[in-house]
Every structure is written in structure tokens, then in C-alpha cells.
């Protein structure tokens, strides 16, 4: 299968379709999806030979000291072709700082994806990833 990696954030429709393909619909708020994607530091998509988006990854953060890899998704019909590795590898290239600056790039990984990230140089360094969800008070 031929695929290409393009340097761009997915559209809201592409993001929603890929999230649905892997059962992640509940992880995202459609009301803010577009604005959230627009605030990305960088993004990449993978397209097949027909130009259809079959994978995505993006980075969020301040881009100066911290960046976090988010939303690495590959359509299940295309798993096993190295697409996730290609996406994250290119995303890290796009995040490479200039000069003598060190950028911390973090992520949360599912157990199934740990090997992908380790192959690209990510490590736990005895750290534990944690998170907390905050909800606005609006109705």
C-alpha cells in the first residue's frame, strides 16, 4: 500500500472520521474540535494512493520548552504498515528546535503503542504519566 505523509493538521472532518474509526468519539468535543486543531503546534496526516486521509498526529504545547504528541490515529484498515511510526517520526522532525534549545516532547501511550514510541527514542525515564479532566461550569 502506498502512502504519503503531509505536513498539515487534519481538518475537523478528517479528525472526527479517524476518531470514529477507532472508537474515540467520546474523547473529543465537536464544539471545540476545529479551534483545538487550529491551536496545534504542528500536524501531519497520512494519505493513501487516492488522497484519502488514513492517519494523523499532531503536537500541542508552547513550542518553546514543551510539546506533547496528541491524536496519533491510524485507520484500522491500514494498521501494521508503519504509518504511526512514519507520522510520529515526521512530527518530531517538525518540532526540532533551532539553536541550543532543548524541547521536552511528551506523550501518553497505550500499551499497544509503546513499541512505536520507543523505536523513535521516547522513554519513560522512571516517570508516570498522569492526567486530570476539568469541566467548565457552563450548562
**Residues designated as active site:** 117
List b or e across 84-110, with b for residues whose CB sees 16 or more CB atoms inside 10 angstroms: bbbbbbbbbeebeeeeeeebebebebe
Phi, psi for residue 91 in degrees, rounded to 5: -60, -45
- The cell for 126 is 522512571
Cβ atoms of 9 and 40 closer than 8 Å: yes
Phi, psi of 112 (to 5 degrees): -70, -25
Instruction: Tell me the C-alpha distance between 78 and 67, whole Å.
Output: 27
The H-or-E segment that residue 46 falls in is strand 42-48
Amino acid at each position: 500500500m502506498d502512502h504519503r505523509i503531509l505536513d498539515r493538521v487534519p481538518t475537523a472532518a478528517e479528525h472526527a472520521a479517524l476518531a470514529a474509526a477507532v472508537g474515540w468519539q467520546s474523547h473529543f468535543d465537536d464544539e471545540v474540535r476545529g479551534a483545538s486543531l487550529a491551536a496545534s503546534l504542528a500536524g501531519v496526516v497520512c494519505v493513501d494512493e487516492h488522497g484519502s486521509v488514513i492517519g494523523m498526529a499532531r503536537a500541542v504545547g508552547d513550542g518553546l520548552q514543551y510539546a506533547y504528541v496528541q491524536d496519533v490515529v491510524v485507520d484500522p484498515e491500514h494498521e501494521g504498515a508503519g504509518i504511526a511510526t512514519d507520522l510520529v517520526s515526521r512530527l518530531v522532525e517538525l518540532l526540532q528546535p533551532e539553536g541550543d534549545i532543548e524541547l521536552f516532547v511528551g506523550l501518553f501511550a497505550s500499551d499497544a503503542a509503546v513499541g512505536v514510541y520507543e523505536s523513535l527514542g521516547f522513554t519513560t525515564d522512571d516517570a508516570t504519566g498522569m492526567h486530570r479532566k476539568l469541566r467548565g461550569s457552563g450548562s
